């Protein structure tokens, strides 16, 4: 299968990597050349790390790299399956998918990696609504085993089955979710972040202590480490979307501490500063 990944940020590059490792031909598109260069470097580093850990041979790495094409021309994204992993804004997703539809036509599958925007809403604004499906990876995509497949009200059942087959082909655990706010994982996990921020806001403990305590219970990362990894602004966008979709239920309310981080441009690892400070 030829797979097009739209958006070469942290999530998009991870999806591209696992797809290529599984034998798919992959076109990774982004409008920014510097983002593509960073993606190529990150994928190379991830594969080299896998070799160091004895999980991959040099030959498999080279074969994987030959299946990857990096491009800033959307005309190159002529594929069987599109997975968009761009900003969590409905208008932007609709515009990009419309461009891809003109290029690919009615037989391509158009998947969104959205964390919170209803798939039915995306499909309602698309020329081929029956071809829209959700394929929701978790960050970091090359490590996390779970992927949600979500059908819009308009999704053709055959498209859902093809999406499930794709997820299984990349050696991920597939769960099928209804098109509800946050689907399954983000609805449950939202309070991991929201409550952590409330504890910080109430000066019960510092973000370092909260993260330490969470890790001590068996989690690999605390909420603040994870927000920095995902992107503080991305995490806030998902929280804001779910807050609105759940009719402003206070348990989903975005936190002012996180909002200030975003206003300051402290997006986490990608910007060098979030709740923690990083070397770029």
Catalytic residue flag (residue 186): yes
Nearest in space to 132 (alpha carbons), one of 78, 183, 175, 179: 179
Catalytic option among 19, 186, 241, 255: 186
CA 178 – CA 148 distance, rounded (Å): 10
Classified as helix, coil or strand, 192 is helix
CA dist 151 and 130 (Å) reads 9
Selecting among 19, 46, 115, 255, the annotated active-site residue is 115
Dist CA 73 CA 99 (whole Å): 12
What span, in angstroms and rounded, lies between the C-alpha atoms of 104 and 51? 36
β pairing state of 146-151 and 173-177:
parallel
Residue 66 CB: number of other CB atoms within 10 A? 10
Q: Is 116 a catalytic residue?
A: no
Tokens describing residue 47: 């594969």
User: Residues 136, 151, 207, 235: which is the catalytic one?
Assistant: 136
Residue written as tokens 């021309």? 73
Catalytic residue among 148, 237, 241, 255: 148
Q: Is 107 a catalytic residue?
A: no
The order of strands in the sheet holding 68-71 is: 68-71, 25-29, 2-6, 81-84, 109-112, 132-137, 146-151, 173-177
Catalytic residues: 115, 136, 148, 186
């Amino acid at each position: 299968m030829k797979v097009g990944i739209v958006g070469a940020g942290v999530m998009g590059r991870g999806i591209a990597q696992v797809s290529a490792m599984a034998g798919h031909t992959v076109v990774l598109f982004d409008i920014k050349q510097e983002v593509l260069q960073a993606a190529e470097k990150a994928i190379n580093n991830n594969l080299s790390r896998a070799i160091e850990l004895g999980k991959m041979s040099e030959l498999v790495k080279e074969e994987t790299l030959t299946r990857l094409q990096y491009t800033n021309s959307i005309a190159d994204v002529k594929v069987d399956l599109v997975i968009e992993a761009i900003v969590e804004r409905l208008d932007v997703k609709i515009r990009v998918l419309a461009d891809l539809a003109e290029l690919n036509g009615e037989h391509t599958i158009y998947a969104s990696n959205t964390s919170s925007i209803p798939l039915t809403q995306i499909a309602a604004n698309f020329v081929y609504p029956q071809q829209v499906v959700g394929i929701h990876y978790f960050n970091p995509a090359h490590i996390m085993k779970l992927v949600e497949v979500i059908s819009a009200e308009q999704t053709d059942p055959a498209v859902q089955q093809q999406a499930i087959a794709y997820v299984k082909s990349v050696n991920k655990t597939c769960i099928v979710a209804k098109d509800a706010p946050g689907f399954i994982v983000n609805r449950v996990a939202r309070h991991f972040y929201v409550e952590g921020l409330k504890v910080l806001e109430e000066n019960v403990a510092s973000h370092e202590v909260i993260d330490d305590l969470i890790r001590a219970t068996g989690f690999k990362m605390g909420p603040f480490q994870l927000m920095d990894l995902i992107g503080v602004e991305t995490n806030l966008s998902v929280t804001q979307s779910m807050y609105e979709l759940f009719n402003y239920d206070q348990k989903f309310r975005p936190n002012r501490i996180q909002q200030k981080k975003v206003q300051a441009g402290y997006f986490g690892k990608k910007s060098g500063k979030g709740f923690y400070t990083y070397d770029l």
